[in-house]
Amino acid sequence: MRKARAIQFLALVCCVGLLAAAATRMGAINAGRQKLNTMGATSPLENAPPQYAFFIQALGAFRGLIVDLAFIRAEEYKEAGRFFDAMQLARWICTLQPHFPTVWEFAAWNLAWNISVTTYTPEERWNWVYNGVKLLRDQGIPFNPQAVNLYKELAWIFNNKMGEVTDDFHYTYKCNWAWRMHVLLGSPPIPQAELDPNALARETSTEAVTDLLGPAARKAFVQNEEKRRAEAEKRGEKYTIRSLEEVTKAGAAPVLEVTTYEVTKRAALERVRRLDEAPARLADLYRQYPDARRMVTALQDLDIDLNDDPLTEDDYWCDGGLAFTFFVPYRKVVDPVSMFALVTHEDPNADAERVRGQKLDAILGVRAGNPAGEALVHWLQKKVLKEVYKLDTQYMLQVVENFGPVDWRSVDAHSLYWVVRGLVAGGETVSGFFNDKVNTARIMFFSLRNLFLRNRMIFEPYPPKIYLSYLNVGRDLNFIEPMHEAYVKFGPLFDPRGGTGAGELYRIGHLNFLSEAIRLLYISGREAEADHYYKYLQQTYPTNEQGQLSPALSKTLRDYVMGSFIESIQTGGVREFRLALDGLLTRAYNDLAAGDSGQYVRIVQRCRELYEQYMKDKRSAIMASKALFSFTDIQTDTFYAWLAQPVPTPMASLHKVRLWRAAPLFLRQGVYDELRPLFEAECTDWGFDIAEAFPEPPGMADYRHLHPDRRRPERPDEVETLPMKIGD
C-alpha cells in the first residue's frame, strides 16, 4: 500500500514538474505564433458561436493537431478531385481554428478557384466564386478583422477572378456582381444632372485626404534602402541617402486643374455621402423625417416590412425579400427603360414589377423629390450595404475621395474597397507582416488599371438569366489622374533601383499608360489635360531605356497623338491612313453604342480634321485613282462594317441595336437596305422585335429615290496597290 502511494506521489510530482517545464516554453511559442501571424488580438472565444466555442473548449490544445491532420487530408482530397470531402474538412478546420486566417484563405481559395472550375455552367460557376467571397466577407474577416491576407484574398477574387478575362465565365461574374449593385444603387450619377451645388462648397482636396497606401509604401521604401545602394554601386554611381519626402516630392506630378474629373468625382462623392449621412436606425429617420413613419406603415400593404432587425443576404434575396419586393420595382420606376426590355418581350415579370414600382413611388414620392421618401431609400440602401454586403459607407467615401468616381457595379471598385480596408486594418495588426501589405497594395494598382480600362459601364440586366445581361465596359478617363498619381507617388517607393517618375520598375508601364491616356484625352477633346501629361512625359521620360533621346517626344502634341494612330501622316500611304481612320471611327461608334454621343462627336470631328489635313497635304501627290472616298462615304462604310460583323450572342446584337438607335440619320439611311436581311436574321435568332430593334430610318423613300445606287462610278484602274510613298 505504501509502495502504491509512493508511486502515486511520484507521478504527481512528475506531472507538476512537466507542466512547469512546459509553461516556461509558452513565451517562445507565443512569439513564434505572433511571427507567423497565427495569433489574433482577440480571445479565441470572443464572438464565437456556440458550436465554435464548444469545439475550441472541448479539444483544447489538440485542436492544432487535429487541424494539421485535417489540412493534410483536405489537400489530398483536393488533388484527387474530391472537393466535397475537401470542403467539409475545410469547414471543420474553420470551426476548430476560426482565428487562424490561413484556414479561411484556404477554404475560400478552394471555393472560388478550384471547385468553381470543375463546373461548366454560368450559374454554378458564379455560385462557387461568390461562395468564396461570402466565406471571407461574412465569416473569415469578422473573425479576423486585422488579417490583411484575408482582405487581400477577397480583393484578389474581385480583381483577378471576376475582373480579368482569364476565366471563361468572367462575363458571368461581372454581370452577377453588377446586378447586385445595380439593384441596390443603380447607375452612377450623371454629374451635371445630380450634383448638389452645395457639394461644391464642401470640395475636398485630394491632397488632404488620408494616405492609405502610405504605410505600406513607407515600409517598402525603408526595406529597399540596401537594394537601392547595391543598384547604384552596380551602376558605378555614388549612392546618396534620400529621405522619403525628397523622393515623394521629386516624383509628384504638378498640380492640375482636372475639371471633368473633379466634377464627376464630386458627384460620385455626393452620392455616397448621402448614403453615409443617412440615419443608421429607423427611429433616427423618423426623428428627422416624421413622414417616413407613415411611409413605412404604408409599405406594409405591399408586403414590405422595414425594421432594424439584422438582414442577411439570403433573406434579402429570397422570394419576398427586399431585393424583389422593394429594389427591383424601385429601379423600374426610377431607371429609364432598358434597351433589352424594349426589343424583347421575354421577361413576364416586368409589367408586374413596374406596377409595383408605381405603387412604391406613390408612397415614397421619390420621383416627385419627396425628401422623406429619398431619406427612407437611403436608409435602406445603407442598411443593405452594411448588413448584406458588409460595405461601410465611410470606407466607400474614402475610396472615392482617394481614387476617383468608381462605379460600384464594377468588380474592380470592390477589389479597391477591400484593399483599402485591408491596408487600414493591417495598420493595426499585431504581426506587421510586411509582405502581405505590399502584395495587398499591388492589387490597388491592378484595380486602378482595371478601373481605367473598364469603369465606364453600361449595364442592362436580364433578370431571368443574369449572365445574359448587356454589359458594355469601356475606358474611363476619370481614372487617368488617380492611376498617374499612384504611379508617381508609390512607384519609386516600391522600386529598389530608383529612377525618375514612377521609377525603373514601373517605367515602361507608366510610359505606356501615359501614351494611351494622352491619346484618349486628346481625341476626347480634353486637350489641356492631354497637354499636361504630354509635358510631364517630355520632362520625366525624355530618353528611352538605352538613354537615347526619344524622337516621338520631340513632336507637337497633335503630331504625337496622330503619329500614334498613323505611323506618320507625312510618310503614310493611303491604305495606312484609311486603316487609322477606320480604327478611330470604329471607336467612335463603340462610344456611341455605349451612350456617349459627346465622345462620338469629338472623335468624328478629329477624324474630319485628320481627313482634311491629309487631303490638303497630299492633294498633289495622290493620283486620282487612289484618292480617298469622301469623308461621308468613309463614315458610312465603317458604319456598315461595324454593323455587318457576325454576332455570337444576343448581347452583341444588342450592342448593334444601341448603335442603330443612336446613329445619325444619314448613316442609317446609307446602310439600311443592305443590312435589312441581316437585321431580320439576327432578330429572329435572338427573339428581338425588329420594329423596336432596327426601325427603318425615316425618309427612306426619298433617300432611295435620290440614291438609287451607293456604288461609286467605275474607274479604270480600281486595283489595290502597295501604299504609295511620298516622292513616288
Partner 1 sequence: MKRVLAIARLTFWEGIRMRVVLVCLIVLVILVLRMPFALRGDETLAGRLQNFLAYSLGALGLLLSLTTAFFSCATLSGEFKSRSLHLVVTKPVSRFEILFGKWLGVNLLNILILALCGAAIYGLACFIRSRPEQFVRDRYKIRDVVWTARHAARPVVPEKEIAETAAARVNNLIQQGELDKTRRLPALAEEISAGIKRWRVVQPGYVADYRFENLTPPEQPDTVIQVRFKVVAQPVPMDEMVTIGWVFCDPNSGAPLSPPTWTRERSSAVHQFLVRAAPVIRNGQALLQVLNDPARGPTTFVFDGADSLEILYKVGGFELNFVRALLIILLRLTLLSALGVFFSVFVSFPVACLCTLSFYVICLGQPFWLEAMGAGNEGAAPQFDPFGVFGSAIRTLLVPLVRLGFPDFSYYDGVDRLIDGVYIPNGLVVGGLIHTLLYGTVLLFGPGWLIFRSREVAEVQV
> CB neighbours of 48 closer than 8 A, spacing ≥ 6?
56, 98
> CB neighbours of 666 closer than 8 A, spacing ≥ 6?
632, 636
Stretch that binds partner 1, among 121-129, 146-154, 214-222, 686-694 (CB under 8 A): 121-129
Stretch that binds partner 1, among 114-122, 469-477, 527-535, 554-562 (CB under 8 A): 114-122
- Residue 118 Cβ vs partner 1, minimum distance, rounded to whole Å: 7
Greatest alpha-carbon pair distance for the chain in Å reads 127
Amino acid, res. 587: R
Cell numbers placing 613: 489635313
Stretch that binds partner 1, among 120-128, 193-201, 309-317, 529-537 (CB under 8 A): 120-128
Asked if 591 and 613 count as a contact pair (C-beta separation under 8 A), the reply is no
Asked if 157 and 125 count as a contact pair (C-beta separation under 8 A), the reply is no
Size of the site for partner 1 (CB under 8 A): 23
- Residue 84 Cβ vs partner 1, minimum distance, rounded to whole Å: 3
Of the two residues 115 and 292, which places its CB atom closer to partner 1 in the complex?
115
Q: Which of 73, 124, 138, 350 binds partner 1 (CB under 8 A)?
A: 124
- If one asks whether residue 569 binds partner 1 (CB under 8 A), the answer comes out as no
Stretch that binds partner 1, among 112-120, 515-523, 640-648, 691-699 (CB under 8 A): 112-120
Of the two residues 317 and 631, which places its CB atom closer to partner 1 in the complex?
317
Helices 122-134 and 101-109, packing angle to 10 deg: 170
Q: Which of residues 55-94 bind partner 1 (CB under 8 A)?
A: 78-81, 83-88, 91
Q: Which of 38, 119, 349, 564 binds partner 1 (CB under 8 A)?
A: 119
Of the two residues 95 and 440, which places its CB atom closer to partner 1 in the complex?
95
Of the two residues 647 and 700, which places its CB atom closer to partner 1 in the complex?
647
* Chain centre to alpha carbon of residue 584: 25
- Residue 129 Cβ vs partner 1, minimum distance, rounded to whole Å: 13
- If one asks whether residue 114 binds partner 1 (CB under 8 A), the answer comes out as yes
Amino acid, res. 665: L
Based on the number of CB atoms within 10 Å of its own CB, is 570 exposed (0-12), middle (13-18) or buried (19 or more)? exposed
Q: How far apart are the two ends of the chain, measured CA to CA in Å?
A: 121
Stretch that binds partner 1, among 123-131, 279-287, 572-580, 653-661 (CB under 8 A): 123-131
> CB neighbours of 237 closer than 8 A, spacing ≥ 6?
none
- Residue 579 Cβ vs partner 1, minimum distance, rounded to whole Å: 25
Cell numbers placing 645: 460583323
Q: Which of 46, 68, 123, 351 binds partner 1 (CB under 8 A)?
A: 123
- Residue 320 Cβ vs partner 1, minimum distance, rounded to whole Å: 17
Based on the number of CB atoms within 10 Å of its own CB, is 555 exposed (0-12), middle (13-18) or buried (19 or more)? middle
- Binding-residue pattern over the window 317 to 356 for partner 1, x denoting contact by CB under 8 A: ----------------------------------------
Of the two residues 88 and 500, which places its CB atom closer to partner 1 in the complex?
88
Amino acid, res. 515: S
In what helix (H) or strand (E) does residue 652 lie, and over which residues does it extend?
helix 650-662
| Helix segments in 480-573, DSSP class H | 480-494, 503-523, 527-540, 557-565
What are 472's strand-pairing partners? 458
- Residue 96 Cβ vs partner 1, minimum distance, rounded to whole Å: 15
Cell numbers placing 549: 533621346
Cell numbers placing 44: 479565441
- If one asks whether residue 714 binds partner 1 (CB under 8 A), the answer comes out as no
Query: What span, in angstroms and rounded, lies between the C-alpha atoms of 555 and 172?
Result: 44
- Binding-residue pattern over the window 386 to 425 for partner 1, x denoting contact by CB under 8 A: ----------------------------------------
Nearest of 521, 506, 445 to residue 476 by alpha carbon: 521
Q: Which of 37, 131, 402, 636 binds partner 1 (CB under 8 A)?
A: 131
SS3 241: coil
- Residue 121 Cβ vs partner 1, minimum distance, rounded to whole Å: 6
- Residue 131 Cβ vs partner 1, minimum distance, rounded to whole Å: 7
Cell numbers placing 79: 488533388
Cell numbers placing 154: 477577397
- Residue 90 Cβ vs partner 1, minimum distance, rounded to whole Å: 10
> CB neighbours of 444 closer than 8 A, spacing ≥ 6?
213, 416, 419, 420, 423, 486
| Helix segments in 463-502, DSSP class H | 480-494
* Chain centre to alpha carbon of residue 548: 37
Of the two residues 135 and 195, which places its CB atom closer to partner 1 in the complex?
135
Q: Which of residues 146-175 bind partner 1 (CB under 8 A)?
A: 168
In our burial notation (b when 16+ CB lie closer than 10 A, e otherwise), range 399-427 reads: bbbbbbbbbbbbbbbbbbbbbbbbbbbbe
Of the two residues 50 and 336, which places its CB atom closer to partner 1 in the complex?
50
Of the two residues 77 and 462, which places its CB atom closer to partner 1 in the complex?
77
Of the two residues 115 and 269, which places its CB atom closer to partner 1 in the complex?
115
Q: Which of residues 464-493 bind partner 1 (CB under 8 A)?
A: none
Residue 440 to residues 210, 215, 298, Cα–Cα distance (Å): 17, 12, 47
Q: Which of 117, 244, 311, 601 binds partner 1 (CB under 8 A)?
A: 117
Nearest of 394, 372, 357 to residue 282 by alpha carbon: 372
Stretch that binds partner 1, among 115-123, 252-260, 545-553, 573-581 (CB under 8 A): 115-123
Residues that bind partner 1 (CB under 8 A): 78-81, 83-88, 91, 114-115, 117-121, 123-124, 127, 131, 168
